[in-house]
Amino acid sequence: MIIVTGGAGFIGSNLVRALNSRGYDDIIVADDLTDGDKFRNLLDSQILDYLDKDDLLEQLETNLPWSGEVKAVFHQGACTRTTELDGRLMMRDNYEYSRRLLELCIKLGWPLIYASSASVYGRGEVFAEEPANERPANVYAYSKYLFDCYARRRASTCRGRQIVGLRYFNVYGGNEAHKGDMASMVFQLNRQLLEHGELKLFEGSDGYGAGEQRRDFVHVDDVVAVNLWMLDHPEVSGIFNVGTGQSASFNSVARAVMDWHGTGTLRYVAFPSTLAGSYQSLTEADLTALRGVGCHLEFQPVASGVRTFLDREAGIGQDGVGARRENQAPGAA
């Protein structure tokens, strides 16, 4: 049996599907379905049971219904609104919930593989998993940073327990429509092109030209693959970056989207004053630690990753069969 928190969300639902493909269907999904549309992310997946995220903790803390039967807990659930200013909500959902779940996993002897975030590096330019490089610039990043610190301390006193934090960089792929304005730039640029025929990027900031701000964009398939690698290597613990190791400009992402469609125009808009001082104009995963534990998975570069994503959105299979919108006006039937 495997538990996946946030299992109806973006990365969690992709992980559930991948577990199914490995033959796992005894999967407990925990999530918050206040946004009921997220159920669609699980329609093509097999699970054993669904619990509200709060009910999961209550059952584990009181009834212990699956003691000794759980192979691993994948903790993907979190409040991911990076612009959220309610610090009490953020700390309750991202720090306190994670801390309680970790303590239960330690008590029950269950491996915990959890989602951290590259946001902990803030506006720095060194992206290696060392405390000296961690300077969160908003309360979301701080909630992730604080739990990383807690997990490090507990791991040092719980030898033999697998505790893995995966610092996701800019993840994109299927099943993220429910995220709205928190969806990846790949998703948002594709949606802009379909709806308006125009893609919008920020003008220059932090010394970068218009659209030349750079992020490490990583396909969700690759993120899932790292999670499964950790499942296969229970002897590995620690905090690890999950990205391609190569940054790409927003312009290159926009060009990849327009190339796929064979149409589209690009326009630059003023950089929002509300983001000044907290915007990451550069991220690029240092993969030294991940490679050092033997994980040598290959990651898709932006051009092929965007193509994979858009092919799937259009229902195009590996044989090329499907309804690609090349040279077709955005929104046309």
Q: Which of 193, 215, 197, 219 is nearest to 206 (CA)?
A: 215
| pLDDT tens digits for range 137-155 | 999 999 999 999 999 999 9
pLDDT attached to residue 325: 41
256, 306 Cβ separation under 8 angstroms: yes
Burial category of 50 from C-beta neighbours within 10 Å (exposed 0-12, middle 13-18, buried 19 and up): middle
Confirm if 229 and 297 have CB atoms less than 8 A apart: yes
CA–CA–CA angle 117, 108, 38 (5° rounding): 45
Query: Is residue 68 predicted with pLDDT exceeding 90?
Result: no
Tens digit of pLDDT for each residue in 35-48?
Answer: 999 999 999 999 99
Active site residues: 140, 179
What is the pLDDT at residue 84? 78
- Containing H/E element for 29? strand 27-31
If you average pLDDT over residues 151-168, what whole number do you get? 95
CB of 93 closer than 8 Å to CB of 139: no
Higher pLDDT, 69 or 293: 293
Output the CA torsion 231→236→241→245 (10° steps).
-90
Gyration radius (Cα) of the chain, Å: 20
Strand partners, 113: 74, 164
- Main-chain phi, psi angles of 238, to 5 degrees: 135, -175
What are the tens digits of pLDDT across the range 184-234?
Answer: 999 999 999 999 999 999 998 888 999 999 999 999 999 999 999 999 999
Alpha carbons 74 and 86: distance in angstroms, whole number: 26
The answer on pLDDT for 168 being more than 50 is yes
Structural domains in the chain, CATH included, are 2-171+218-242 (3.40.50.720)
pLDDT band at 66 (very low <50, low <70, confident <90, very high): low
Q: Tokens for 328?
A: 């077709």
CA 161 from centroid of its chain's CA atoms: 24
HEC per residue, 139-205: HHHHHHHHHHHHHHHHHHHCCCCCEEEEEECEEECCCCHHHHHHCCHHHHHHHHHHHHCEEEEECCE
CB 60 within 8 A of CB 104: yes
